[in-house]
């Protein structure tokens, strides 16, 4: 589980600047924020892909949350938000009591994450009453981004394993 925590701290190198990018992307357009959600997903799912143990994503997200709390304007709220993201990503594995680690479960994680975070994107940038099409498009953009970064996550995990970084 130390590997998961280390991945979480390393993920902070992406998440902290990403937080500031999303603030500025929100000024430009809600769909840009939705498109960046795949990067958030990547940081939270790689520990599960690499470690394949219950709680790996939660531990990594907690580590990212602590770093984010100290370095972003969201403060302590970042910890809760990232723990929620880790929980969403682990749900498809919790359902099977962590007995199975299949690609469809990882895709389900991407779908859950995108459904929650993508549909919240319009409100996150200040759209008080988002239309149904705007919400659905935000979900679709977030899902596409998350799936692209899921493929990248599998490649990263394969590279880490082949270099025996995780041992």
- Quick one: tokens of 48? 């599960």
Q: What is the pTM of this model?
A: 0.83
Report the share of the chain in percent with pLDDT over 90: 56
Length of the chain: 167
In a domain, 167, yes or no: no
Number of domains in the chain: 1
Name, of 24-33, 60-69, 105-114, 128-137, the range with top average pLDDT. Answer: 105-114
Quick: pLDDT tens for 91-124: 999 999 999 999 999 999 999 999 999 999 888 7
Quick: pLDDT tens for 129-145: 889 998 999 999 999 99
Q: Is 27 a residue whose pLDDT tops 60?
A: no
Identify the band that residue 28 occupies on the pLDDT scale cut at 50, 70 and 90: low
Task: Map tokens 């493929």 to a residue.
Answer: 151
In a domain, 58, yes or no: yes
**Cβ neighbours, 10 Å, residue 117:** 24
In a domain, 65, yes or no: yes
Containing structural domain, residue 156: 2-162
Is residue 82 within 8 Å of residue 61, measured between CB atoms?
yes
Q: What are the CA-CA distances from residue 132 to residues 42, 139, 140, 148 (Å)?
A: 27, 11, 12, 24
In a domain, 134, yes or no: yes
Average pLDDT (14-27) is 65
Residue-level pLDDT at 23: 62
Residue-level pLDDT at 90: 97
């Amino acid at each position: 589980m130390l590997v998961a925590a280390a991945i979480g701290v390393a993920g902070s190198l992406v998440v902290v600047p990403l937080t500031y990018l999303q603030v500025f992307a929100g000024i430009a357009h809600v769909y840009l924020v939705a498109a960046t959600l795949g990067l958030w997903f990547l940081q939270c799912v790689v520990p599960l892909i690499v470690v394949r143990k219950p709680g790996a994503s939660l531990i990594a997200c907690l580590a990212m949350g602590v770093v984010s709390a100290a370095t972003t304007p969201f403060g302590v709220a970042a910890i809760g938000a990232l723990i929620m993201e880790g929980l969403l990503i682990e749900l498809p594995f919790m359902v099977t009591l962590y007995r199975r680690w299949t690609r469809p479960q990882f895709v389900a994680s991407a779908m859950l994450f995108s459904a929650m975070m993508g549909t919240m994107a319009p409100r996150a940038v200040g759209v008080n009453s988002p239309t149904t099409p705007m919400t659905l498009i935000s979900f679709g953009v977030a899902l596409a981004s998350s799936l692209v970064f899921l493929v990248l996550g599998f490649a990263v995990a394969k590279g880490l394993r082949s270099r025996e970084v995780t041992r």
